[in-house]
Amino acid sequence: MDVYGLLGNPVGHSLSPPMHEAGYEALGLDARYVTFEPPADSGAAAIEAAETLGISGLNVTIPFKQDVLDAVNPAPLAERIGAVNTVDFTGDTPTGYNTDAVGAVRALNHHEVPLSGTAVVVGAGGAGRAVAFGLADEGLSVKVANRTESKAHALADAVPDATGHGLDSLPGLLADADILVNCTSVGMEEDETPVPADALHGDLAVLDAVYTPIETRLLQDAAAAGATTVDGAWMLLYQGVEAFERWTGQDAPVDSMNSQLREHL
C-alpha cells in the first residue's frame, strides 16, 4: 500500500483526505491519505521521518511550507516561490514542488479563461507569491496589490514583468485588467471583499482563492458586473490534482475528486 498524507499544524480542517481518497478509489489504487500534525518547529524532522517510514508523498501546509525547503530538493518553481506544498519521495532524494501556482492556472484553464494580458493579484503572502509566479510564467503582466504596499513591491521585484501597488490603486489597475485573483483571506466566513464592487467589469475573469463560503462577496459582485467567476474550490482541487498526478504518474479522476471535495465543503 502506498501512503500519502498532509503535513501541517493544525490539519483537522483539511479537505485533502476525502478528495485524494476519492481519487484512489476511482482508479482502484491501493493507497491511503492520512494527516500528520507535528510540533510547529519540526518540519524538516518530519520530512526525514516520512522518508524513513517509506511515505510516498506529502502535501505540506501552514506552518511548514518554508521550513521544509532545506529538507528537500526543491523544483525550480518552488525555489523561486520560496515555499513547498508537495513532496515526492519516490526518487533518490525527496523533491519539493509548489502546486498552488499550477492549481490557479489549471482552475482558470478549466473555465476557459484566456491566459493572456494583465492579471491583478491581491495579496503578497504565500498564495499571492505562488499565483503571481504562476501567471507570470504563463506570459501575463502581473500587478500585485497589497495592504502593505512595500510587500507588494518586494514580491513584484522577484516576479518577471510585475509591478507592486497599494490597495487604493485597485480601481485603476482593474480598468484594463483581464484577470483578478484574490489571494487574501478577506471574505473567508465573512461578508467582506478586498475589491471595490464598482471597479469590476464584464471583461474580467475573477478567481477568489477563498472557498469558505464558496460564493464570496467578491464573486457575487463580480457576477453582478458580468465577469467570469471561478470559486476557490477549483484552485484547491487542481493543486491537489497536480500533486496526485506527480505521485501516481496517472491522470487524476478530476470529476470524482471534485465531487467529494464539494460534498465536504
Binding residues for NADP(+): 123-127, 146-151, 209, 232
Nearest Cα neighbor of 159 from 194, 186, 120 is: 120
Cis amide prior to 10 (ω within 30 degrees): yes
Are 155 and 162 in contact by the 8 Å Cβ rule? The answer is: yes
Nearest-angstrom CA–CA distance, 98 and 137:
14
Place of cell 463560503: 213
Respond yes or no: is residue 65 known to be catalytic: yes
DSSP 169: G
Residue 39: how many CB atoms within 10 A of its CB?
A: 9
Cis amide prior to 213 (ω within 30 degrees): yes
Nearest-angstrom CA–CA distance, 245 and 252:
6
Strand partners, 31: 2
Binding residues for shikimate: 14-16, 61, 85, 100, 211, 239
Residue 166: how many CB atoms within 10 A of its CB?
A: 14
With vertex at residue 136, the alpha carbon angle to CA 43 and CA 213, rounded to the nearest 5 degrees, is 65
Nearest-angstrom CA–CA distance, 202 and 223:
8
Nearest-angstrom CA–CA distance, 36 and 34:
7
Sheet with 228-230: list strands edge to edge: 162-166, 141-146, 118-122, 179-182, 205-208, 228-230
Catalytic residue among 20, 65, 80, 106: 65
**Residues noted as catalytic:** 65
